[in-house]
Structure 1
Amino acid sequence: MKRRIDIDNSINENSALDLMDDSAFADVVILNGKVLTIDENFAIAESIAIRGDRILKVGTQAEIRQLINIDTKVINVEGRTVIPGLIEAHLHPEQGALSELEEEIPVVKTINELLQWIIKQTEVKSENEWIIFPKFFYTRLKELRPPTLKELDEAAPINPVFLNGSFGGVINSAAMRISNITENTVDEGILKNPFSGQPTGILSRSAFKLLNTPPDKVYSEKEKATALAAMLKRYNRYGITSICSGAGDMQTFSLYQEIRKANELTCRVFLNIRFPLNLRHSVSVDEMLDSIDRMDMKTGDGDEWVKIGALKIILDGGILTGTAYLREPWGQRAQEVFGFEDPEYRGILNYNFEELERIVSKAAKSGWKFAAHCTGGGGVDLLLDVFEKINKTISLRDKRFAIIHGNFFTPESTIRMKKTGIYADAQAAWLYKDADAFTDIIGSERVSHFLPFRSMLDNEVMVNGGSDHMVKFDANSSVNPFNPFLGMWCMITRTTENSNVINSNEAITREEALRIYTINNAYATFEEAIKGSLETGKFADLAVLSSDILTCSTDQIKDIESVLTLVGGKVVFASDEIKMSNK
C-alpha cells in the first residue's frame, strides 16, 4: 500500500509559537525526511525550512520545528528521500512539446512493426499525403538495417514516406516521384545503387532540401506556450526543476518569458542560442560573427527563471546516421549498415579549424559560453585543438565551454579537457539505447571509449547529465528518454536495453550520479551559488522521491519518480501519494 504524505497547515503543539518576529519563521517545512543535501560533504539531514523561494535552514527535525508557526505549511514526508531539484543539462522541450499534439508517435523495434504502422497510415491518409516518422533511427531496430525501398513501396505504394533521422533519412518511391528525385538528380546526400545508378531511398541531411514535404503545422504563440508548459510539467514528475534548452533563439526566449508572466513556468530555463546548422548552406562565418556583435544579450542575461545560455553550433552529424565525425574511418561494417561507399569516410564536418577558431575566439571575447554539438571522437579532438590554441591567449578555465554529446572520449582527450576546463555534456541513456548496436558497427575497442564516465570523473572532468529529449511525451519511451533516473542507472550499471553490460570499469557510484544531475549541472549554467544543492540561501527547488536512491535495489533506480516537486518553495507536482489538507 502506498503511503500518503500529509501537507498540513496546522501547528504542532510542541512547535515554537509566534513569540518571534514572523520573518524568522518558515513558510514551508519538510519534516521527517532523509535529506540528501549534495553539499561539499554529501551531508544527510532530516528536515528543511523554506522562507519565500529560498531555503531558510537545513537540519534536524528538532531544529526545523523551532521555525514553525501558525501559518507554516508542514509537509511530513514520512522518512522519504529528499534531493535537490534535478537539473537537465540538454534537451529540446519546445520540439518535444509539439511532437504528439496531433497524433502519437509509435514505438517500433522491428522493421515489421514499422511497416505495419505505415500500412495503417495509408488507410487513414488521402492519396499522395505524406507519411512522416520524426526522429527515426534504424540502428535501433532489431534488424540493424533500414527498410528496403521494396519494403517501403509495398507498404505505401501511393503515399510518400519519409523516415526522418535528423542527420539522415529514408524515403520510398512515391516520395521520390513527388520530389522529382531520379537517377539524374545530383546531390551528395542521395545514396545510389553502384550498379544501376538508381536512388536507394537512403538520404543524408544535405538532400532533405529536395523533399517536397508539406510545411510544418503553424501553431499560435498561445498554443506553443500551452504545450510547452505542459511539457515542463511532465519533467516535474521526475524531479526536474531546471533545464538547459539545447537550441533556441530570441523568439524562444520571449516565449519562456511569456509563460513566466502567466505564472505557468515550472522549470528554470537556461536557453542555448543556436547558430546556423550548416554554414555552407546558410551564412558565412563573417555573417555569424557580425550577428554576435548585433546581439544585445549574452550568456547569463535574464533573471532567475529564464536566462540566455551558451552560443551553440553544430559541428558534425549523428552517430545513429553514420554522420558523426570519427577519429578513424567508420569501417566496413558501418558501410554495410549505412550504405556509404568510401572506405576512408569518417563522417561530416560543418566547420574547419580556422572557422572554429574564429567562432570560439569571438564567443570567448564577447562574454558567451560556447558549446558545440559534436557526436564523434574526431570532432572532439578538433574542438580540443581549437580550445587549446585559444587558451594560450584567452584563459578558458572559468568560461565553462562544453562539448555537447562527444560520446567518444579517450584518456588523452579527458586529460586535455581537464587542462582547459572543458565540460562534457553527456547523454547517458544513449549507452542504454545504442551501445549494443555500436559494438557491432564499430567494434568493442572503439566502444571502450563510449561515454567513459569513470575515467572522466577520475580525470576531474566536469560531467553534465542530460537526455537530448526531442520527441514524444513519455519519459521512458521517448526517442531520447528524459527520465533522469534511467540516465543515472545507466551511469551506475552500464547496462543496455538488451541487458548487456558495456565496459563495467566505467561505472560510477550513486552519489556521483546524483552530483552530475544536480550540482554539476548547476556549474554548467554558472548557478552553483543558487541551486544544485540543499543549503541555506539557495532556491527551494527540491524533489521527494518514490524510493531511496542510495539504498534501493540497483534495478529499482531507473523506476524512481518524484512524489512531490517544489520550485521556489511552490508545489509544481504532487502524486496521488500526496494528501493536501488544511486542518
Structure 2
Amino acid sequence: MTLPASLRPWAACLLFASLASPVLAANSDVILHNGKIVTVDAKFSVQSAIAIRDGHIAMLGSDAAVLAAERGPKTVVTDLHGATVLPGLFDSHVHPLGAGLSEFRGKLPVFDTYDTIRKYIRAKAATTPKGQWIIVPRTFPTRLDELRMPTRELLDEAKEHPVMFDASYVVIVNSLGLKISGITRNTPNPPMGEIVHDRNGEPNGIIKNAQQLLKGLKEDEGFSLDEKRRALEDMLRRYVEAGLTSIGDGAVYAEEIGLYRDLKAAHRLPLRVTMTARYDAGRPLEDLRRDIQALPYKTNDGDDWLRFGAFKVNVDGGMTIGTAFQRQPYGEFGAQLYGKTNPDDRGQLFETAEKLLEIFRVARDKGWTLSAHCQGGGAIDNFLGALDALDKIKPIAPTRSHLIHASFQNPHAIAEMKRLGVLADVQPAWLYFDTPGLQKTMGAEAMKYFFPLRSYINAGIIVAGGSDHMIGHDKNSAVNPYNPFQGMWNAVTRRNIRGEVIHPEQCVTREEALRMYTIWAAYRHFAEKTRGSLETGKLADLVVIDRDYLKCPVDGIRQIEPMQVMIEGRTVYTRPAHK
C-alpha cells in the first residue's frame, strides 16, 4: 500500500525525536504532536497533541499548549505529520489459543468451496497414515459458495481415512468415520444431540452437538504445553499488529487460565486480556452448583493486564449451521443450507429455562457478570427470561451482564435488554459473510433485526464490538476475521460479500462504530475508567493509523493499517517499511 505523501516522512522516522529547547518544569516521557488525536471522550473531541508520563496520559490539547506544559529535557517528541491517533482498540470476543494452534504447524487454505475441501482432503490423505482421522478445520455452509451443508458423500473423497468436517456445534463425518464410530440407522440420539438421517433412514454424516460419539478422534493433535504457550503468545502479538491493545477471550478453561498466567509472570503478555470463564451447562446441576461456588475467582479479579470477566454458558447452537434456537422454524431452505430433514426444526436449545436460572443464580451470587452464547431469537428470550427473574430479586444492571452474539433480535427483546440493563456483544463481520444464505433461510422479517446495531444504540444499549476469531492467523481471511477496521466498516456500511446492503436503516455512524471497539467495549469489561478513550489520567494505550478514520472514503475504513501501537506509552509495534 502506498502511503500519502504527508505520512512518508513520519513513517520513515517513526520515533526520531525533534527536540527543541527543554522546559525544565515538566517531565513527560513522550509527546506526540501535529496529529489528529481522536479522543473518543464524551464530546468526541479531536486534539493535535498528547503527552504521556509513567504510562498514563498527562495532557491533551493543542501543540503549543502541550509542548509548553509537558516537554522536559528527556521528553521524546514525535511529529505525527498529520497522522490520526485512536485509542487502543478492543476486540471483545476472540479465541486466541485455538486460532494460534490452527496454523501452528502449517498454513490452511480458505475453505470457501466444495472443491477446496476436496483438495484439502486429498492432500492430507497423502500424508496421513491409513485409518487415522483427517480433520477439515472449521468453516460454515454460509461461507461456502454452494450455500449447502456438506454430507458424507463429499467427505468420501478419502476412502481409507475417517474424515470429520468441523462446523462448530455440528460436525460432518464420512462413511468410514460413521463405520468406525459404530453409528448406524439404529443409533439413538444422545441427550441434546442429533444424528441426521437421509430419506432412506441412513445417517447422512451430519451430527449435531454429539461429537462425543466419534471414536479415535484426538483432541488437540498432541500439542505440548510449551507449543500451546508459544501459539497463544504469537496469536496475541498478531492482535497487537492489527491495532488491538485489549481483548476478551470468549471462553477459558483451566488450561487457558494457566497459559495466560504463565505469560504474564514471564512479562510476555503482549496485550491486555479479560477472560470469560465458560461452563458446560449440560453437566448435572448439583455438580455445576458445587463447582461454581468453589471457584477461587470472580468478575474483575486481576488487574489491567489480566483479569476475569464474565461467567458464560451456551444456550443454543450456531446460526451458520442451523442449530441456533429460533422463534420460528427454519423452513424449506434449511434443508439445503443446513441439511435439515424436518422443516419444523427450530434449532437446539441446550438447557431448560429452570436449569439456566439456577446456574445463573449461583454464579450471580458468587460475584459474576452473566453472559451466554445466544444466537437464535428463542435462545435470546430464554436468557432474558432468566435475567428478568434474577432482576426481581436484585437488580441485574450493575453486573453488566450481556448477550453474546444475539444474532436474531426483535423489538420486544431489545426493549427487555434496555429495561434490564443488558449489554450486547456483537460480531459485525457476520453481516458481510453470512447474510447471503441467511436471507434465503430466515426471511425478510427476521433479517430486519439481524445484528440491529442502530436499534440497540437508539434504545441506549451499550454495544461492544468483536470478531469471535477462532481459526487462522491472517486478520482478513481468518474464521472469523479479527481486523477491527473490517468490523467497523461492516457496522457502518452493512454491505455483504455480494455487495448487497442489509437493512441500511440499521447502519451506524463512524463515531459509533469506533466507540464499539473502544469505550463501549471497555465499559462491557469494567475498564472504562482506565481504557477506551484518550483522556488525562487514563492508560496511554493508542494506535497511530495510516489514514484519517473520520474523513477517508468509507471503503477506505476496512483498508486502514496501524503504523504504531503503544501500550502504557511504550511502543509495542511499528509497521515495517516494506508493508
TM superposition score normalised by structure 1: 0.94
Map of 2:164 onto structure 1: 162
Q: Does the CA-based 8 Å contact 2:142-2:433 persist in structure 1?
A: no
Deviation at 1:560, TM superposition (A): 0.9
1:71 aligns with 2:71: no
Equivalent residues of 1:8, 1:75 under 8 A apart: yes
Mapped contact 2:17–2:76 kept (Cα < 8 A): yes
Counterparts in 2 of 1:317-356, with a 5 A limit?
Answer: 317-356=317-356
Matching residue of 2:35: 33
Matched, 1:194 2:199: yes
Deviates more, 1:127-136 or 1:30-39: 127-136
Aligned partner of residue 212 in structure 1, secondary structure: coil
Alignment-derived partner of residue 146 in structure 1: 149
1:189-223, CA deviations, whole angstroms, 9 ceiling, x for partnerless residues? 2211232x221111112244334323423333332
Tell me the SS of whatever aligns to 1:323: coil
Kept after mapping to 2: 8 A contact 1:7/1:73: no
Q: Deviations over 1:374-399 (max 9, x none)?
A: 11111111111221222122101221
Any idea what the Cα deviations from partners look like across 1:496-555, whole Å, max 9, x if unmatched?
A: 011111101100000000011100001011111100000011000000011111111111
CA distance in 1, matches of 2:57, 2:245: 15
Q: Tell me which residue corresponds to 1:480.
A: 480
- 1:410-559 to structure 2, matched below 5 A, reads 410-559=410-559
Please give the residue correspondences for 1:339-378 in structure 2 after superposition, counting only pairs within 5 Å: 339-378=339-378
Matching residue of 2:570: 570
* Residue type of the alignment partner of 1:12: L
Maintained 8 Å contact 1:10/1:70 = no
1:10 Cα offset (Å)? 4.6
Name the CA shift for 1:151/1:339 in 2 (closer, same or farther; >3 Å). closer
Deviation at 1:573, TM superposition (A): 0.9
Does structure 1 residue 99 correspond to structure 2 residue 102? yes
For the pair 1:12 / 2:15, whether they are aligned, the reply is no
1:171 aligns with 2:173: yes
1:203 and 2:207 matched: yes
One-letter code of the match for 2:372? A
- Superposition deviation, residue 404 in structure 1: 0.3
How far, CA to CA, are the matches of 1:431 and 1:224 in structure 2? 32
Q: Aligned pair in 2 of structure 1 residues 578, 171: CA closer, same or farther (>3 Å)?
A: closer
- Alignment-derived partner of residue 265 in structure 1: 269
Which amino acid counterpart does residue 547 of structure 1 have in structure 2? R
The 3 A distance-change label for structure 1 pair 119 and 422 is same
The corresponding residue for 1:315 is 315
Q: Name the residue aligned to 1:387.
A: 387
The Cα of 1:472 is off from its aligned counterpart by: 0.3
The alpha carbon displacement at 1:578 in A equals 11
User: Deviation per CA, 1:462-499, whole angstroms, max 9, x where unpaired?
Assistant: 11100000110001111111111111101100100111
SS in 2 for 1:114: helix
How many Å apart are 1:253 and its aligned residue? 2.4
Judging changes above 3 Å, is the alpha-carbon distance between structure 1 residues 455 and 353 closer, same or farther for their aligned structure 2 residues? same
Q: Assess if the C-alpha contact under 8 Å between 1:312 and 1:371 holds in 2.
A: yes
Maintained 8 Å contact 1:563/1:577: no
TM alignment of 1:229-268, pairs within 5 A: 229-268=233-272
Aligned equivalents of 2:151, 2:414: Cα separation in 1: 40
In 2, the alpha carbon distance for the partners of 1:284 and 1:109 equals 39
Structure 1, unmatched stretches of 5+, are none
Deviations 1:14-37 (A, max 9, x none): x4432x2xxx41111111110000
Cα offset for 1:58? 1.0
Contact 2:427/2:466 (<8 A) preserved: yes
- Comparing 336-345 and 407-416, the one that deviates more: 336-345
Asked if structure 2 preserves the Cα contact closer than 8 Å seen for 1:233 and 1:572, the reply is no
> Relative to structure 2, which stretch is displaced further, 358-367 or 75-84?
358-367
Distance in 2 (alpha carbons) for counterparts of 1:258 and 1:127 = 38
SS at match of 1:355: helix
CA distance in 2, matches of 1:430, 1:55: 35
Structure 2, unaligned runs of 5 or more: none
Return the alpha-carbon distance in structure 2 between the equivalents of residues 8 and 554 of structure 1.
30
Task: Give 1:240 shift.
Answer: 0.4
Show CA shifts across 1:47-102 (max 9, x none): 11111111111111112212222322222221111000001111111111111012
Bigger mean CA offset, 554-563 vs 105-114: 105-114
Could you tell me whether the CA contact under 8 Å between 2:543 and 2:563 is conserved in 1? yes
User: What secondary structure does 2:31 align onto?
Assistant: strand
Task: State how far apart, in whole Å, the 1-side matches of 2:181 and 2:525 are.
Answer: 43
The more displaced of 317-326 and 61-70 is 61-70
Q: Distance in 1 between matches of 2:546 and 2:212?
A: 44
Give the Cα separation in 2 of the matches to 1:11 and 1:108.
49
Using a 3 Å threshold, how does the CA distance of structure 1 residues 33 and 10 change in structure 2: closer, same or farther?
A: closer
Q: Single out whichever of 219-228 and 284-293 deviates more from structure 2.
A: 219-228
* Corresponding pairs, count: 568
Cα distance in 2 between the residues matched to 1:46 and 1:481: 32
Q: What's 1:214 paired with?
A: 218
In the TM superposition, residue 4 of structure 1 has moved relative to its aligned partner by 4.1
* Residues 17 and 78 in structure 2, CA contact (< 8 A), matched pair in contact too: no
| More displaced 10-residue stretch of structure 1: 246-255 or 83-92 | 246-255
Does structure 2 retain, via aligned residues, the 8 Å contact 1:549–1:557?
yes
Is the 8 Å Cα contact of residues 7 and 74 (structure 1) preserved in structure 2? no
User: CA–CA distance in 2 between the matches of 1:147 and 1:269?
Assistant: 36
Please give the secondary structure, in 1, of the residue aligned with 2:518. helix
**Structure 1, residues 310-341: CA drift from partner, whole Å, max 9, x if none?**
11101100011110000111112113432333
Q: Distance in 2 between matches of 1:578 and 1:343?
A: 54
> How many Å separate the matches in 2 of 1:147 and 1:398?
44
State the alpha-carbon separation in 1 of the partners of residues 106 and 388 from structure 2.
Answer: 47
Q: Report the Cα distance in structure 1 between the residues aligned to 2:288 and 2:536, rounded to whole angstroms.
A: 42
Q: Distance in 2 between matches of 1:388 and 1:397?
A: 11
Q: C-alpha distance in 2, partners of 1:88/1:237?
A: 13
Inter-CA distance 256–78: structure 2 relative to 1 (3 Å threshold): same
Distance of aligned partners of 1:190 and 1:236 in 2 relative to their CA distance in 1, 3 Å threshold? same
Q: State the alpha-carbon separation in 1 of the partners of residues 122 and 578 from structure 2.
A: 44
Q: Is the 8 A contact 1:364 1:394 kept in 2?
A: no
1: CA distance, partners of 2:285 / 2:457 = 35
Question: What is aligned with 1:295?
Answer: 295
